[in-house]
Structure 1
Amino acid sequence: MEPFTRSWTALLAAVAARPDRDFERPSGCAGWLVRDLVCHLVIDAQDVLITLATPAAGPATRDAVSYWDVVSPPTGDDPLDALTVRLAAAYGDPALLKFHLDDVGSAAGRAAALADPTALVGTRDQVLTAGDYLTAYVMEWTLHHLDLSPTAAPPASAEARAMLEQIAGFAFPASFSDADALRVGTGRRLPTPAEHSALGAHATRLPLPLG
């Protein structure tokens, strides 16, 4: 559970420290302003609470890596994405959005710390151990920390990179920082010419937007 707690605590702190004026600026997540991203985190925190309170019968059908599917990044056209954008705008004052995330997010963090990592839980019509489910979210928190803070070095970046490399089926070159591997690997930015060359044939398999 430790990487989950470490990455989630850092992300909550990064949101709390973000100036209100930045909430109207684009985030690193395609199609979303910072306020939309923070609203998405509120929904994610609710999902954590719901899933940890949803026991399931075995066997497990996914683990921390296979939990992830390769999807298109949010554009606002998907009904749920569009709802997130409208809900974020409805908050009006960024302080209200920050308060709601801190409130629900702190509860999600406490629930994760109390969870039995071997217990089976259900989400998205799949069954995982609570430990695998929370480990999968290390990827989510790390990517969104990078979306929120372009110069950030999220504390669980190495763990998230390792998961991304398992999903991709290859290791990123050692010349890539963990943050660069995550950004380039999930399509948050294009590789530089030098990075493209270092990736070699693997460059054709990117990006891998996750959902």
Structure 2
Amino acid sequence: MDAFSRSWAALRAAVAELPDEDFARPSGCAGWLVRDLVCHLIIDAQDVLITLVTPAGTEPTRDAVTYWDIAEKPPTGDDPLDALIVRLAAAYEEPWLLKFHLDDVGSAAGRAAELADPALRVATRDVVLTADDYLRAYVLEWTLHHLDLIAHLPDAADPPAEGLSGARELLEKIAGAAFPPSFSDKDALLVGTGRRAPSEAEKSELGELAAKLPLVLG
């Protein structure tokens, strides 16, 4: 719960601190500008709110690791839902409106997470998992999108160290293997999810794990 709150608060603060001109810069998500990514975060916050008030009456079918589906190819931005995000973001017209909506809905999602019973079973995407596992999965989501947000913003702050290490640990469990100790948490996440191509030296260090990468999470 604490890791979720810290990673989410840091991501929202990073958005709040962006100057208007940065909203028109590319993000780390293919086909999306920073404004598009922020619009996606608003929808993510809505999903968190919906999920935490959708209790399930059955046993969990997934946990924080198996919550993630692995796609065969990285997103290109051409998916209909991805294209919808671009249109929605453009409809905001002014960056302050995106900031306001994210702060409004995002704060509510953060409070809902703090109030949630970790053992509560919740339903989302036709699966059931505990609130604790759901929120732990979202630490990975927030951390990766924080990296996406600052991909072309060299002066922006990195995600919290706790979020980076927790996200790396979860990604290693998804991969079924650990990244080399020489990889920083940030590099493990970027390379592991295909956000950055590994160098030849890194490929050599990755060994058999290189064949499993990138892990395209969905």
Task: Report the TM range for the smaller structure's normalisation.
Answer: over 0.9
Match runs of 1:173-188 below 5 Å = 173-188=180-195
Match runs of 1:24-35 below 5 Å = 24-35=24-35
Aligned to 2:57, the other structure's residue is in SS state: coil
For residue 57 of structure 1, report the CA deviation from its aligned partner: 1.2
Determine if contact 2:23/2:95 at 8 Å carries over to the other structure.
yes
Q: Identify the residue that residue 196 of structure 2 maps to in structure 1.
A: 189
For residue 73 of structure 1, report the CA deviation from its aligned partner: 3.5
> Gapped runs of 5+ residues in structure 2?
none
Aligned to 1:175, the other structure's residue is in SS state: coil
* Residues 78-133 of structure 1: per-residue CA shift (max 9 Å, x gap): 22111111100111101100110000000000000000010111000000111111
For residue 201 of structure 1, report the CA deviation from its aligned partner: 2.2
Are positions 1:99 and 2:100 aligned together? yes
Are positions 1:154 and 2:155 aligned together? no
Work out the CA distance in 1 between the residues paired with 2:208 and 2:48: 37
Q: Identify the residue that residue 145 of structure 2 maps to in structure 1.
A: 144
* Residues 171-191 of structure 1: per-residue CA shift (max 9 Å, x gap): 000010000000000000100
Determine if contact 1:76/1:85 at 8 Å carries over to the other structure.
no
Determine if contact 1:121/1:130 at 8 Å carries over to the other structure.
yes
Poorly superposed stretches of 4+, deviation over 6 Å:
none
Q: Which one is further off, 70-79 or 200-209?
A: 70-79
Letter in 1 for 2:87: R
* Residues 25-45 of structure 1: per-residue CA shift (max 9 Å, x gap): 110112211011000000000
User: Aligned residues, how many?
Assistant: 211
Letter in 1 for 2:49: L
Q: Identify the residue that residue 6 of structure 2 maps to in structure 1.
A: 6
- TM-score for both structures, normalised by structure 1: 0.97
Determine if contact 1:120/1:130 at 8 Å carries over to the other structure.
yes
Work out the CA distance in 2 between the residues paired with 1:206 and 1:111: 34
Work out the CA distance in 1 between the residues paired with 2:182 and 2:77: 34
Work out the CA distance in 1 between the residues paired with 2:140 and 2:121: 20
Work out the CA distance in 1 between the residues paired with 2:150 and 2:74: 18
Q: Which one is further off, 104-113 or 16-25?
A: 16-25
Letter in 2 for 1:160: A
> Gapped runs of 5+ residues in structure 1?
none
Q: Which one is further off, 201-210 or 8-17?
A: 201-210
Letter in 2 for 1:165: E
Aligned to 1:36, the other structure's residue is in SS state: helix
For residue 74 of structure 1, report the CA deviation from its aligned partner: 3.2
Work out the CA distance in 2 between the residues paired with 1:124 and 1:56: 12
Q: Identify the residue that residue 112 of structure 1 maps to in structure 2.
A: 113
Determine if contact 2:30/2:77 at 8 Å carries over to the other structure.
no
For residue 61 of structure 1, report the CA deviation from its aligned partner: 0.3
Q: Identify the residue that residue 55 of structure 2 maps to in structure 1.
A: 55
Work out the CA distance in 2 between the residues paired with 1:149 and 1:82: 21
Determine if contact 1:32/1:74 at 8 Å carries over to the other structure.
no
Aligned to 1:65, the other structure's residue is in SS state: coil
For residue 76 of structure 1, report the CA deviation from its aligned partner: 2.7
